Amino acid sequence: MKAIQAIRGMKDIPPADTPVWRRLEDAAREVLAGYGYHELRPPVVEKTELFRRSVGEATDIVEKEMYTFADRNGENLTLRPECTASCVRAAIEHGWLRGRGQRLWHIGPMFRYEKPQKGRYRQFHQLDVEALGFPGPDIDAELILLGARLWRRLGLEGLRLEINSLGSREIQASYRNRLVEYLTVHAEDLDEDSQRRLGSNPLRILDSKNPSLRDMLEAAPRIVDHLDAPSRAHFEQLQAMLTASGIEFRVNPRLVRGLDYYTGTVFEWITDALGAQGAVCGGGRYDGLVEEIGGPPTPATGFAVGLERIVALMQAGPEQADAEGPHAYLMAVGEDAVRGAHALAEQLRDAVPNLRLIVDAGPGNFKRKMKSADRSQAELALILGEDEMREQQVTCKRMHDGGEQQRLARPDLIESLSKRVSLSG
Ligand code: ATP
Ligand code: MG
């Protein structure tokens, strides 16, 4: 029979990789706690309407990347392609925005029907960080500092920060006209994708990765030259705060984001180490979004980190020993020992917190179990035979250094295991 395979672009994270993922997630949790952010766990499915209204009709995501389906009741649902909309929806629904700010984060899978390639998948994971109810550039700076701290914490080097300001909705609308005028004059230079976007989402053309458009886009009008006074002041204050905090950045006037809800500050962290998919984190302000999806007027800002790309950077860096292997492999040989093995193992687990112990009370002779013990990479083999059972002892054999072995009474075994576990941390 033909074996069933996973869906294209949706990958298993195998046990060999989960230690790196956990290291990343633990670091993120600790850093976020240090800035007073709280974890939110929204569902992965939302009403399609939520993303249409927030991400925007004329975006790649809504036009062609959403996993949308009708449930058995005919309700139109979507596997979330991003998480800001869900966080905002939850904050409005639970009334968290009344008169106070909310600092939230979430880690989980997102779904986009994109062309799968290195660094781009159909199920991928993001760390999402959102600060709702804060108007000032100080919170944009806080988010950037938090990101920088996470990179340092993970030992990642060479991440560049690019920032831009998209101004208010009004500025965006008038800039859009200017840009369309310019691009229409240069219409023959546009590629097919950009031609299409000229009518629907012209700002996004600035973000085109097509090198043949570069010179023409380089000369296009820049939104930063058309900012209103409040947007300009906000952007300048942000830059001053970053500089005062020792954060290096580049203003990239062509940095726009792929989602419609951004206003004012936008930013990306970029690496050159991953080829084409170099953006590891993107975010910015979305001061209009809460109101647009039915909440009270609420300024807000946030970012999302692509975790697959961070994991790839971590795996390319210096190798880290992840202490995951078992401390001990308990093998029972003989009828009585097989019957008593779990009782002994439970006793050891009671007595030695954090002990990683594998129990082999299955079929097989001594030789076969010894082989399995070796394969398990355990530091110790604990042999429980008929003699040991009778005398309430265990034979303890060191696996990696010549196989020295000794018989231990159970209290001595517990002491020796405790030492080993506290050494391995
Ligand atoms: P890109 O320009 O790489 O398409 P984006 O602008 O669509 O990114 P966002 O929606 O802002 O990305 O998501 C934030 C981050 O999530 C990205 O910077 C990237 O690291 C990651 N990301 C986005 N889409 C994918 C995907 N399909 N597979 C893996 N990671 C992704
Ligand atoms: Mg994208």
Q: pLDDT tens for residues 76-97?
A: 999 999 999 999 999 999 999 9
Pocket probe for ligand 1: among 159, 266, 268, 277, the residue whose CB has the most ligand atoms within 8 Å is 277
Provide DSSP, 63-93.
III-EEEE-TT--EEEE-S-SHHHHHHHHHH
Q: What is the mean pLDDT of residues 64-85?
A: 98
Mean pLDDT for 354-358 is 97
Please state the rounded mean pLDDT for residues 144-153.
98
Q: Side-chain half-sphere of 378: how many Cα atoms within 13 Å?
A: 28
114 CB within 6 A, ligand 1: yes
CA distance linking residue 261 with residue 82, whole number of Å: 12
Count CB neighbours of 404 within 10 A. Answer: 9
Q: What does the radius of gyration of the chain's CA atoms come to, in whole angstroms? A: 28
> Which atom of ligand 1 is found nearest the CA of 61?
7
* Whether residue 308 has its Cβ less than 6 Å from ligand 1: yes
CA 395 to centroid of ligand 2, rounded, Å: 58
Q: Which atom of ligand 1 sits closest to the CA of residue 304?
A: 14
Q: Angle at Cα 131 formed by Cα 127 and Cα 132, nearest 5°?
A: 130
In this structure, which residue's CA is closest to atom 6 in ligand 1? Answer: 258
> Per-residue b/e over 258-282, b at no fewer than 16 CB within 10 Å?
bbbbbbbbbbbbbbeebeeebbbbb
Phi/psi at 39 (nearest 5 deg)? Answer: -80, 135
| Backbone φ/ψ region at 143: left (φ over 0), alpha (ψ -120 to 50), beta | alpha
258 lines ligand 1 (CB under 6 A): yes
Q: Which amino acid is at 5?
A: Q
Selected residue with higher pLDDT from 269 and 208:
269
Mutate to test the pocket of ligand 1, among 83, 127, 206, 281 (most ligand atoms within 8 A of CB): 281
Q: Give the atom of ligand 1 at the shortest distance from the alpha carbon of 126.
A: 16
Length of the chain: 425
Residues 6+ apart with CB under 8 A from 238: 137, 140, 141, 163, 265
How far apart CA 385 and CA 397 sit, in angstroms, is: 13
Ligand 1: does its nearest atom lie under 6 Å from the Cβ of 81? no
In angstroms, rounded to a whole number, what is the distance separating the alpha carbons of residues 208 and 306?
20
Overall average pLDDT of the 280-286 stretch: 98
Mean pLDDT of all residues belonging to the chain: 95
Q: Give the end-to-end CA distance of the chain in Å, rounded to a whole number.
A: 46
The residue whose CB lies within 8 Å of the most ligand 1 atoms, and thus the one to mutate among 10, 112, 307, is 112
Closest C-alpha among 54, 1, 103 to residue 293: 54
Mean pLDDT, residues 69-73: 97
Q: What is the pLDDT of residue 325?
A: 86
